Structure 1
Amino acid sequence: MPERKRPISIHRRLLRYMLAPLLLLLVAGVAVDHSMIVSPIHSAFDRALSRAALAIVARIHRGPDGQLAMSSPEHPPPAPRPFANAEPLPPPPKSMHGEGPSPTLRGMGGDVFFYRVSLPDGRSLAGTPELPLAPPDDKAADGFSFADITFQGEVMRLASYRTVEDGEAVIVTVAETPARRDRAVHRMDVSFGLNDTVQMAAVLIIALIGIRISLRPLQRLSRQIANRPAQALTPLSTDEVPSEVRPVVESLNTLLGTVRNSVLSQQHFMANAAHQLRTPLTGLKAQLEVLGRETAGSPLEERIALLHGGVDRLAHTANQLLTLARAEPSAHRASHYTSIELPHLIGEVIESSLDRALAHGIDLGADCQHVQVTGVYWLLHELLINLIDNAIRHTPAGGHVTVRCGANDGQAFLEVDDSGTGIPAGERARVRERFYRGAGSTDDGCGLGLSIVDEVARVHGAQLSILDGSTGQGTRMRIDFPASS
């Protein structure tokens, strides 16, 4: 057996189609944000690095011996320098001659900081002499040039400042590891990533809420179709149907109209056929009755009696077929349903069936409680006639047939209880089939009685149950109506 496919969900399809583009937009947005923040962050740290170089320049002066020297915090330069905003550095050596290179300096946040003061000819005056110089930048008007290098196994950012101090050209070079830069970029990436993710999730949630609200007309249409009774073939309302679904509803209305016309045509055909059969059958029965009286006592009397019985069965079958056709759910409108007093209905049907029950020697009675149901009167009349007719057919002389009605837990019921031969449990499902006749059926039945009963019960939303008789023998046919009845 092929595996049944899961129904397509519009919610899941829209979510699938929206989620992939939104994820791509999220990745693209994070990448764009990263590219936009990297350059300003590096520029800010380069400016800080350049201010460190300017702070070193501010400490350079010419000593009494005529050589350039760098002052310490304890011995400030003899004249103030124009670098009041320069960042302070740890104290460098007191002299730039004869004291060797300065030790490695520790910057903020775990960064390693190096510096070097040199002359254009390459001689180092202070700092780390192995520190390379950044190539000159002809486009820079402020004398600074920057480069990325690897020094002592560390990736570093390098800045060289070319200036003139007391008439002598000096190059101040500073370098630091990029730990703070990387942390700043990482923090910004996380911040922008979380912000973009929250915004994208909010957009997705709002979109899903909007989709759910937009699909409410479809849900209302679904409930409208599900709550329609089976016999309703009227067109569906298109007043609140979205324009995208309107063609589907209009096609469904066209189909309903086609089915309604087909059902009406079938009903008209059955009514006309039954009417056309009744007239000649009635005339044929009348002629057979006359012929029977004329041939009384002759050898033809028995054959005419058999022929008369066959015509009776034919007329009965035609009436049953017409009733079955008229019992179709689509043949009844809501206006056909009225409030029906079951005791009153039972009284009418028993009165019309009493003569037949007496002719068969059967005690026909009723046990009724006051109860009402909503239904089509003539259909319930036919249902009860068929139940009593079947009970009389299958109950021997001297037996009884009792019709009951009442209510259990707010549900109305109608049942016909007989003391006849009963229906075996294995045949109780098949006796509802059309033209099925059990082993105990009489010759004058056509096998449509319980089919009509079952069809009428379905029209009223009721349930037909075939049970054992209340006295332990026979059959009890019970109709349980829905609570709304």
Structure 2
Amino acid sequence: MPDRPGDHYSLRRRLLLVILGTSIALWMAGLSIVAQIGWRETNAVFDDALKESGYLIMAATTDWNERGLHADRSANAGAERKLEIHYQIVVDGKVVQRTAGAPAIPYIASFRKKKGFANVVVDGRKLRVFVTRSADQRSMVQVGQDYEKRYDILLELAEHLAFPAAALLLLLGLASWFFIRRATRPISDTATRIAQKSRDDLTLLDDAGQPAELLPIIDAVNGMLGRLDAAMQAERRFTADAAHELRTPMAGVQMHVQLLQRQHPGLAGSLQKLRQDVERSTSLVDSLLALARLDPIASHDLVRSSVPLAPLLEDTVRAHQEAAAQRGATIGVDCGIDALFVNPDMLRVVLRNLVDNALRYGGPGCKITIRARWLEDTARLSVSDDGPGVSADDRERLTERFFRVLGSGQGGSGLGLSIVKRIVELHGGSLQFCAGPDGRGLAVAIDLPAAAASEI
């Protein structure tokens, strides 16, 4: 992959640095909290040891008489309840002095070292025992403490740390979520930009300022957009060129058919059918050329102006008056909108196609109405007839290119409503099909948003 400008960055590196930085900061905060709690608990443990030593000395001076025998303890019951460290003085393997909580036999009968710690079990209780021997090795002092006291300290420490640890974990999760969401925002932004692409917008995605991890995806999408644009441009050029090249020979064929009709009156019927086919082919070529010109246009490139609507509708009626008279049809206008901010030429194409369709498929003697009304902030243009109409299933396909309703008995290219739909889309509007007046015939409604509609 070619080198990129220096404004790109690594998404992985950012995530790593953010998570590591957040974790270190929170770890240091947690360490500070643990140190404070540990310091407090350590002071408490040493304070308890000092108190126990005081109780131990008190027991050593009150629990024994001058002969080293166990004395009456009733007067010191309160002190005994507080005593959690017990000792034994062992001489020649026998206990000669002990606190009341210590057993009558040595905690450890044989201890080879001069001093040290050992773990023993007495009456089902685990004790930690410290042993120190005299210089002549005859006597030794054994001091024992129940492990339960140590477990209590650990439990108390855990209880004090539980809430801060949970809070720090929650903070870590929230901080990681926030920063990762910010770091990965270019991914969602790029996905949104791709999703907003339409068939009219095949411009390449800008990769400036994007993370390095997204560049292969952007390159792939841009490559696809470039190929798609080239293919569509080639198709449009082919359609436009073919339609343009066909117009001249089709016009020549039509002139020759007219000449043959005059020269051979006996073939008038066949030549008239040929002339109708040529006219239909010419109409198809014109429609293809119109679509080829409309497809590349983007909505923001459309030239618009404020167009007085009533005169435009009257012009449309006059242009179709002869065709309507031949079919015994009538065309009425009901205009409730002063002006529209649209492209006037395209609006004429829309009205011409809709009225042509209504005359063609409405049947002899049909009544056609062109109506313009405001629906809140939307301008609605509609062309309706009271003819045989179109089934609900066929209405859904009316804007498909080259689709024609079967059994209508009418010719046509099947492109008129496709052209109408494209022009309406360029104006940001929508196209709807429904039943005509009193449920008869077909009504084609065009809704244009307030941005495309304005009253004078």
The bucket for the TM-score relative to the shorter chain is 0.7 to 0.9
Task: Determine the C-alpha separation between the residues in 1 that align with 2:232 and 2:311.
Answer: 32
The answer to whether the 8 A contact 1:117-1:172 is kept is yes
Aligned match of 2:152? 183
Alignment of 1:157-176 (within 5 A): 157-163=128-134, 170-176=139-145
| 1:98 Cα offset (Å) | 5.8
Does structure 2 retain, via aligned residues, the 8 Å contact 1:96–1:125?
A: no
Secondary structure in structure 2 of the residue aligned to 1:96:
coil
Deviation track 1:348-389 (CA, whole Å, cap 9, x = no partner) reads: 433433333334343323222226556555443322211100
Paired residue secondary structure (1:235): coil
Matched, 1:290 2:263: no
Query: In structure 1, which of residues 107, 111, 116 is the aligned counterpart of residue 88 of structure 2?
Result: 116
Deviation at 1:287, TM superposition (A): 1.8
Deviation at 1:483, TM superposition (A): 4.7
Would the aligned equivalents of 2:302 and 2:426 in 1 still touch at CA under 8 Å? no
Aligned amino acid, residue 353 of structure 1: H
- For residues 428 and 303 of structure 2, the distance between their equivalents in structure 1, rounded to whole angstroms, comes to 12
Which segments of 5 or more consecutive residues in structure 1 lack a partner in the other structure?
1-9, 57-86, 139-143
Tell me the C-alpha RMSD between the 2 structures: 4.2
Rg (Cα) greater in structure: 1
1:82-481 matches, within 5 Å, as 91-97=62-68, 113-120=85-92, 122=94, 124-125=96-97, 127=99, 129-133=104-108, 135=111, 137-138=113-114, 144-163=115-134, 170-296=139-265, 299-328=266-295, 330-332=296-298, 334-339=300-305, 341=307, 342-343=309-310, 345-370=312-337, 376-439=343-406, 441-470=408-437, 473-481=440-448
1:93 partner SS: coil
1:50, 1:173 → 2: CA distance?
19
Say which structure is richer in helix: 2
Q: Distance in 1 between matches of 2:93 and 2:393?
A: 117
Name the aligned partner's letter for residue 130 of structure 1. I
Secondary structure of the residue aligned to 2:142 is strand
TM-score normalised over the length of structure 2: 0.76
Paired with 1:333 and 1:472, the residues of 2 have a C-alpha distance of 35
What is the alpha-carbon distance in structure 1 between the residues aligned to residue 132 and residue 145 of structure 2? 15
Contact map agreement 1:422 1:474 (CA 8 A) in 2: yes
Q: TM-score, normalised by structure 1?
A: 0.72
Count of matched residue positions in the alignment of Structure 1 and Structure 2: 419
CA distance in 2, matches of 1:133, 1:321: 108
Asked if 2 retains the 8 angstrom alpha-carbon contact of 1:119 and 1:125, the reply is no
Q: How far does residue 107 in structure 1 lie from its aligned partner after superposition?
A: 7.2
SS in 2 for 1:388: helix
Q: From the superposition, tell whether residues 310 and 198 of structure 1 become closer, same or farther in structure 2 (CA, over 3 Å).
A: same
Q: Give CA-to-partner distance per residue, 1:308-364, whole Å, 9 cap, x none.
A: 222111111222233344443x54352125245344543443343333333434332
Cα deviation, residue 273, structure 1: 0.7
> Quick one: structure 1 residues 407 and 98, their matched pair in 2 at CA, closer, same or farther if it must change by over 3 Å?
closer
Distance, in Å, in 1 between the alignment partners of 2:137 and 2:380 is 119
| Deviation larger for 144-153 or 454-463 | 454-463
Unaligned runs of 5+ in 2: 1-10
8 Å contact from structure 2 (residues 390, 442) kept in 1: yes
**Deviation at residue 445 of structure 1 after TM alignment:** 2.2
